[in-house]
Amino acid sequence: MTDPSELVEQVRAGDLRLYELEEHADAETAATARRRYVAEETGADLDTVGGFGFSAAQASASNIENLVGGAQIPMGVAGPVTIDGGATDGEYYLPLATTEGAFVASVNRGLGTIEAAGGATARVTDSGMTRAPVFRVDGVVEAQRVTEWVDVNHERIRAAAESTTSHGELLAVEPHVVGDSVFLRFVYDTKDAMGMNLATIATRAATDLVEAETPAELVALSGNLCSDKKPAGVNAVEGRGRTVTADVVLDRQLVEDRLDTTPEAMAEGNTRKNLVGSAKAASLGFNAHAANTVAAMFLATGQDAAQVVEGANAITTMSVREEGLYASISLASLELGTVGGGTNLDTQSEALDVLGLAGGGDPPGSNADALAEVVATGALAGELSLVAAFCSRHLASAHEELGR
């Protein structure tokens, strides 16, 4: 076995670069050597960073470059909550990874209220991962030729795209023309995978066909009309990943006893803050803090954390009904999966096991649908708790009580 100290000396002498260490040692030794070198160069104490529990070999192969260790985030659990979903059915405990004090307590209060009402209902109403390459054409005449060709050659495009994957399916190709630019927004069913890599590879094969058969010349495989890891109206309208809604009806007594407020106050507070306030701010998120739950569950279950941007693309509604309060949250573009990416890391796999959703589902796609319904229910719980907190003017006192 190579001595980490020898690798450190070779890096210092310029004989090796930090990214080359795995070529001369196993992943664990390479991470140790890299961590020692960085600690010595910066004067930082990285002992805790070095105390990670996942496989260095697995992480280096699939999830990270220049591994030095792990960033530990506290994980809490909220629930249980009963969910009547298209893919979920029964009680769930939600794993939440966060550094924000009072957050898990808030979601837990919301889930407890939902459970007291008999549980939430949730459904995935649309699903499709997108990739949108941009092509150069001479002008609008050539652009029309491209869009007309795409319209009549969907089966050929589908065959080219699906030749790269054993389980992904091309659902649609949507042309968009802007001057001498042609965007083709590809939409895929990626089953239980979040599917960004699948969509990218499949689309690359399809663009070869488009270039061969039309005047279009590929400029970029992603033309930002996808739109990935950026706030985007197209995702709010068309959806991306999973489009999912969760809702619940709380009777009046339950709102008063559990949330210390009234249905009328909740409905007004939600309208003035989450709807009117968000509209005035020109926000794409018409909600109180959906990103909190999305981020905490993404970190816990191994999702791409940058896609919280789209995951927070959500609308919360509340209205007074004869029996009490109707509340819902609709997340337009929740991009997640239960296979691939970070879901295979030890901690994240264990969190998915808590939900009973690790790995591929039967039928394919059902585990990712279920995870989306759980995230939506958690986000709904967070909305109920926070809206109630500011309606009852308990927001600041809750943080003070918990020492946050």
Residue 394: predicted pLDDT? 58
**Structural domain ending residue among the three candidates 174, 189, 220:** 220
In a shared domain, residues 325 and 395: yes
End position of a domain, from candidates 57, 72, 87: 72
Q: Is residue 68 assigned to a domain? A: yes
Q: Please check whether residues 316 and 391 belong to one and the same domain.
A: yes
- Is 338 found in the same domain as 397? yes
Does 245 score more than 70 pLDDT?
yes
- Predicted confidence at residue 349, as pLDDT, reads 96
Segment 349-376, tens digit of pLDDT: 999 999 999 999 999 999 999 999 999 9
pTM of the model: 0.93
- Whether the per-residue pLDDT at 345 is higher than 90: the answer is yes
Pair (173, 249) in one structural domain: no
Nearest CA to 318 out of 330, 308, 326 is that of: 326
Candidates 9, 304, 346, 350; catalytic one = 304
Instruction: Looking at the structure, tell me whether residues 123 and 140 fall in a common domain.
Output: no
Distances (CA, A) of 173 to 143, 155, 338: 15, 11, 26
Q: What percent of the chain has pLDDT over 90?
A: 93
CATH number at residue 119: 3.90.770.10
Single out the catalytic residue among 167, 176, 394, 399.
Answer: 399
Q: Note whether 222 and 133 are within 8 A (CB).
A: yes
Dihedral angle at the C-alpha atoms of 55, 57, 61, 66, nearest 10 degrees? 90
For residue 233, tell me if it sits in a domain: no
User: Which H or E run includes 243?
Assistant: strand 241-251
245 lies in the same domain as 338: yes
95 three-state secondary structure: strand
Q: Is residue 103 part of a domain?
A: yes
The residue segments making up the domain with residue 51 are 20-72
Q: Are residues 335 and 264 in the same domain?
A: yes
Residue 9 within a domain: no
We report the CATH number of the domain holding residue 190 as: 3.30.70.420
Block residue for tokens 């009072």: 102
Provide the domain count of the chain: 3
- For residues 140 and 185, membership in a common domain is answered with yes
Predicted confidence (pLDDT) per residue in 211-238, tens digit: 999 999 999 999 999 999 999 999 999 9
Question: What does the pLDDT average to over 29-51?
Answer: 94
- Residues 82 and 147 both lie in one domain: no
Instruction: Answer with the one of 161, 189, 220 that is the final residue of a domain.
Output: 220
Question: Residue 14: inside a domain, yes or no?
Answer: no
Per the prediction, the chain carries an average pLDDT of 94
Active site includes 154? no
170-214: per-residue pLDDT in tens? 999 999 999 999 999 999 999 999 999 999 999 999 999 999 999
Are residue 96 and residue 65 in the same domain, yes or no? no
Annotated active-site residue 47? The verdict is no
* 92: in domain: yes
pLDDT one-digit tens code per residue, 133-166: 999 999 999 999 999 999 999 999 999 999 999 8
DSSP letter string, 151-184 = HH-HHHHHHHHHTT-SS-EEEEEEEEEETTEEEE
Same domain? For 33 and 110 the reply is no
Given the residues 26, 100, 268, 346, select the one marked as catalytic.
Answer: 100
* pLDDT value of position 204: 97
Question: Using 50, 70 and 90 to split pLDDT, how confident is the model at 246?
Answer: very high
Alpha-carbon distance 194 to 291, whole Å?
A: 18
> Does 100 participate in catalysis according to the annotation?
yes
Q: Using an 8 Å Cβ cutoff, are 189 and 169 in contact?
A: yes
SS3 14: coil
Asked whether residue 44 is assigned to any structural domain, the reply reads: yes
User: Is the per-residue pLDDT at 310 higher than 60?
Assistant: yes
